[in-house]
Amino acid sequence: MAGISAPGLGSGLDINGIISKLMAVESQPLTKLDQKEAGYQAEISGYGSLKSSLSQLQSALDSLKKAETFQATTGSSSDDSVVEIATDADVVPSSYDVTVNRLAQRHKTGTASFASTQTFGGNAGDSLTITSGSQSFTLDLSTAMTLEEIQAAINVDGNQTGVTAGLITGDNGNQVLVLTSGKSGYDNRVQLSYGGTLDATTFGFATLNRDAEGNLLASDSELDASLTVDGVSVTRSSNDIDDVINGVTLNLKGTGRATLEVAEDPGVAVKAVKAFVEAYNELQGTLSGLSQGTLSGSSLVRSVEGRLRGVFNHAFTGLGSYGYLAELGITTDKDTGKLQLDSSRLEQALADNPDSVTAFFSDEDKGFAAQVDRVVDGFIGSGGIIDSVIKGVNRSIDRIGDQRDALQRRLEMMEKRYRDQFNALDTLVAQMNTTSDYLGRQLDALANMIKKK
């Protein structure tokens, strides 16, 4: 008898449904593997969150590791329209009286007025050499050029003097070529020399710079800035001056008089410590959430908390007058484990003994920031503890993948076996039904023959 092409057709059994239910039972271990893998993936995500929070804490340590954070100063000017001030950690608090007599200017020199068609040069050896500072640029004028062509020839990449050329056209159509130095001051002025048949009278260049009253400068030496600081005369080529008062940069803005004040600025240190406290408290929140969630019972979470707490409770000896965080206004809330900062206490410590505060936080070996940084780096550094733990979890996920592949192959073989068995049963039942129908028909025929007799 030919095989049954549709499962259950011969027997009337729902073979596909039966096999589907059997395979659902057999596939339960596969579901458990998926759930286990999801748990591992959640662990990796949790370790990633922990690493990110520790990284933010480490970034907050950068400022605490710098001595200048605790030695910061601030400068102010009584008149910012005359002079602005910037300070660094080397400056000594003081005050200065500054009078700006003249601002530094970039030299401008312009030609006489010429028709736009006027050409210059055209003879062998004709040239114009432009010098500014230590750089020179020579323009070959053996082929005659107009002022517009000279302008274009000067404004090329090969001109390293910093001098640029501009062209001004007046109402009468005549033009003036203007050369402007790239830097201010007398030493960076535009200097010109000529070759061939050209000389100073060819172009008639003259300085165009003017003083604060609008008068032409009496001399190119007036291109330098002129000022007095506490009565001491100072001349510089730039309006940004950092070599007059140690640790102070003066930015000249205009002529006039201003009083400069330099004072200590504890706000920089307070801001840096506050940023660290906030980063640590964020970490505490992350640790609390992980310990109650995806990393519940993790020894790594407890290790991070314990190692950091150990540094915070550690006595920092040999660094000055302060040995504990609490002495600098940083305490731990016993209920939440988070840090609290008393800014006024930290500011008072900076006022009383700034060197000790600086050493406490920023000493390269024994300082607070260095010790916390070493602990954090042990967890999140390349090849650190967290990377090692994540690597171990990934190996577990790989093993689950291997188990899943093996289980899926076994399930495929099991489903094939079930189908073969039920198809055989279906065929057997169909054969028995056929035989039963045949016998029934034979018995019915025999009964009819008996009745007829």
pLDDT at 8: 53
Closest by alpha carbon to 228, among 339, 108, 83?
A: 83
Residues 320, 359: contact at Cβ < 8 Å? yes
Residues 6 or more apart from 378 whose CB is under 8 A from it?
Answer: 307, 384, 385
Measured N-to-C along each axis, helices 299-312 and 28-64 cross at an angle, to the nearest 10 degrees, of 10
Mean pLDDT of the 306-320 span: 91
Q: pLDDT class for 277, splitting at 50, 70, 90? A: very high
Between CA 352 and CA 360 the distance in angstroms is 14
Placement of tokens 């993948």 in the chain: 401
Model pTM score: 0.68
Residues 4, 426: contact at Cβ < 8 Å? yes
Residues 419, 20: contact at Cβ < 8 Å? no
The residue length of the chain stands at 453
Mean pLDDT of the 233-262 span: 96
Residue 215 CA to its chain's centroid (Å): 50
Burial group, residue 435, by CB count within 10 angstroms (0-12, 13-18, 19+): exposed
Question: Where is pLDDT greater, at 86 or 439?
Answer: 86
pLDDT surpassing 50 at residue 275: yes
pLDDT at 33: 82
pLDDT at 420: 77
CA angle 324, 372, 61 (to 5 degrees): 100
pLDDT at 196: 97
Q: pLDDT class for 423, splitting at 50, 70, 90? A: confident
DSSP state of 210: B
pLDDT at 12: 65
Radius of gyration from C-alpha coordinates of the chain:
45
Between CA 166 and CA 379 the distance in angstroms is 61
Query: Among 30-39, 149-158, 210-219, 369-378, which is the least confidently predicted range?
Result: 30-39
Closest by alpha carbon to 220, among 186, 172, 193, 250?
A: 186
DSSP state of 117: T
Q: pLDDT tens digit string along 201-217?
A: 999 999 999 998 999 99
pLDDT surpassing 60 at residue 169: yes
Residues 100, 85: contact at Cβ < 8 Å? no
Q: pLDDT class for 173, splitting at 50, 70, 90? A: very high
Phi, psi (deg, nearest 5) at residue 340: -130, 145
pLDDT surpassing 50 at residue 368: yes
pLDDT surpassing 70 at residue 453: no
Q: pLDDT class for 422, splitting at 50, 70, 90? A: confident
- Give the side-chain half-sphere CA count within 13 A for 252: 29
Mean pLDDT of the 153-169 span: 96
pLDDT at 10: 52
pLDDT surpassing 80 at residue 156: yes
User: Can you name the CATH fold of 106-222?
Assistant: Alpha-Beta Plaits (3.30.70)
pLDDT surpassing 90 at residue 49: yes
Between CA 379 and CA 385 the distance in angstroms is 5
Mean pLDDT of the 84-103 span: 92
Mean pLDDT of the 259-288 span: 95
Measured N-to-C along each axis, helices 299-312 and 368-380 cross at an angle, to the nearest 10 degrees, of 170
What is the average pLDDT score of the chain? 91
Dihedral angle computed from the Cα positions of residues 126, 132, 137 and 141, in that order, rounded to the nearest 10 degrees: -20
Q: pLDDT tens digit string along 336-351?
A: 889 999 999 999 999 9
User: For the chain, what are the domain ranges?
Assistant: 1-72+266-453, 73-104+224-264, 106-222
Residues 129, 137: contact at Cβ < 8 Å? yes
Between CA 252 and CA 77 the distance in angstroms is 11
